[in-house]
Amino acid sequence: MLIYIKILRNILLLLFIIGLIGVVILHFHGILHYLDFETTFLLLKNGINIFKLQTNDFGVNYIDPCSLELLILELKGELN
């Protein structure tokens, strides 16, 4: 029984570290404050890799912050 608790603890620790790395990547790419649960789901559902988007102008997959906001509004259906 004790071995299962240790395995579960290690798995949860690994998931936490992976999630933390993902949040740090999104923060450094400048996209973290644009995302919420619904926006993330819509971007991923439409095949947009959120980890490759960058609002910093030195990136290969640079997207202007205004264009990103327009894309999010279009995906949510709020843009007429």
pLDDT tens track for 10-43? 999 999 999 999 999 999 888 888 889 999 999 9
What's the confidence (pLDDT) of residue 8? 96
**Model-level pTM?**
0.74
- Is residue 62 within 8 A of residue 54, CB to CB? The reply is yes
CA 6 to chain centre: 29
Domain count, the chain: 1
8-state DSSP, 32 = G
- The range of the structural domain enclosing residue 63 comes to 2-76
Q: What is the torsional sign of CA 26, 20, 11, 1?
A: negative
What's the confidence (pLDDT) of residue 20? 96
What's the confidence (pLDDT) of residue 53? 85
What is the rounded CA–CA span in Å between residue 72 and residue 63?
A: 12
